[in-house]
Amino acid sequence: MAVKRGASGAITDTFFTVTELARDLSVTARTIRFYEDKGLITPRRAGNIRVYTKRDRARMALILRGKRLGFSLREIKEYLDLYDVDPTQIEQIRLLLKQVRMRLEMLEDQRLALEETIVELKEIEAQTEEALKQEVASKRIAG
Amino acid sequence: MAVKRGASGAITDTFFTVTELARDLSVTARTIRFYEDKGLITPRRAGNIRVYTKRDRARMALILRGKRLGFSLREIKEYLDLYDVDPTQIEQIRLLLKQVRMRLEMLEDQRLALEETIVELKEIEAQTEEALKQEVASKRIAG
DNA sequence: TCGCACCCTTACCTATACGTCATCCAACGA
DNA sequence: TCGTTGGATGACGTATAGGTAAGGGTGCGA
């Protein structure tokens, strides 16, 4: 409920400081500032202090999801820019569509690889559990 | 059909040289040697020349899939080691099982993120196609 | 008024994953 | 015998994604 900055570093309930946002998203403030450096996010300032809105927070969440998916910051930036394209420029729209489709293909491909791996790991898991049971059982008999 | 090394660098049909394997997998020879340096793959040698079997090729394919999934070489190494664990050591089995389950959790998580993103991109795609149609139609009328 | 908690910027440090020479050796065909 | 192709180090270079101080400013409660 603090309107001014208290011990927590909060400005208001709808705005965040870097460290607040960082804690919220389980990253460091350094990381957030670094993303700003790279042009992925541009918070407003109160004086020279960064002020993040909920929209900024959502954007950060998108960035982090992109990272979980294994994309580089450059790629994530391009991806985020897809949301900000001017829809009146027809050539720009065509380009955008092409990019979106390429990315979709990549993701579908990645999903396939992912599912293959999950299946294999589950097999290993099952075999391992089996082996474990066998081991324990034989020890019980031997003991 | 070459038994000796010909112009292609082939040794036999079942063995590969670095560059052959590299071409086959669309990576550079440097990459493969680097993986060896990091202990991810250990081909046999003919003298001091690397000789890769089909098994080596399969292992390389696993490595590359791991990379597509966004894992580091260190993680991929750990993952590959799962295939080589001695199944008689019960504590080792328990550890293995734990690792497999952790990795599975990560992958399921990743799959979720992936599917969210795919859905969003498909929405953008649909909207963009729509906008494109509108643009073209209006230009046709105007022209 | 001191210290603490945060904020900012600048700058150097680090790990990962290769790319890029440079140098040297061996085999093969013209 | 020479040139080309390919293989093997070894060393240095590079991009990405931050970590880690260093140095300095501000507001606030004790």
pLDDT, tens only, A74-103: 999 988 988 888 878 888 888 888 888 888
pLDDT at B8 over 60: no
Token pair listed for A42:
């541009």
Average pLDDT over residues A29-40: 97
pLDDT at position B4: 40
Average pLDDT score, chain B: 86
**Residue A55 pLDDT more than 50?**
yes
Phi then psi for A16, rounded to 5 degrees? -130, 150
Chain B residues whose beta carbon lies within 8 Å of the beta carbon of residue A70: 68-70
For residue A11, how many other CB atoms are within 10 A of its CB? 19
Give phi and psi for B7, each to the nearest 5. Answer: -65, -30
Q: Residue B50 has which token pair?
A: 């690397």
In this complex, do B114 and A114 lie within 8 Å of one another by their Cβ atoms? yes
User: Is the minimum CB–CB distance between B102 and chain A shorter than 8 Å?
Assistant: no
Over 80: is that where the pLDDT of A7 sits? no
Q: Using CB atoms within 10 A of its CB, is residue B33 exposed (0-12), middle (13-18) or buried (19+)?
A: middle
Instruction: Please name the member of B88, B124, B135 whose beta carbon is closest to the beta carbon of A90.
Output: B135
- Helices B54-68 and B73-81 sit at what angle, rounded to 10 degrees? 130
pLDDT tens, residue by residue, A108-137: 988 998 999 999 889 988 988 888 888 888
When comparing pLDDT for B127 and B20, which is higher? B20
- Look at residue A143 in the predicted model and tell me its pLDDT: 64
Mean pLDDT of all residues belonging to chain A: 86
pLDDT at A48: 94
Report yes or no on whether pTM surpasses 0.85: no
The two structure tokens encoding residue B92: 């080792």
Distance CA A102, CA B130 (A): 18
3-state secondary structure of B49: strand
Question: Residue A69's pLDDT is what?
Answer: 87
Q: What span, in angstroms and rounded, lies between the C-alpha atoms of A66 and A72? A: 8
pLDDT tens digit sequence for B11-65: 446 899 999 999 999 999 999 999 999 999 999 999 999 999 999 999 999 999 9
**Cβ proximity of B110 and A69 under 8 Å:** yes
Q: How confident is the model at residue B143 (pLDDT cuts 50, 70, 90)?
A: low
Quote the distance between the C-alpha of residue A18 and its chain's center. 17
Answer yes or no: is A48 CB < 7 A from strand C.
Answer: yes
* Strand, helix or coil for residue B46: strand
Tell me what pLDDT residue B13 has. 65
Res. A41: pLDDT tops 70 = yes
Measured between beta carbons, the chain B residues lying within 8 angstroms of A108 are 118
User: A103: Cβ under 7 Å from strand C?
Assistant: no
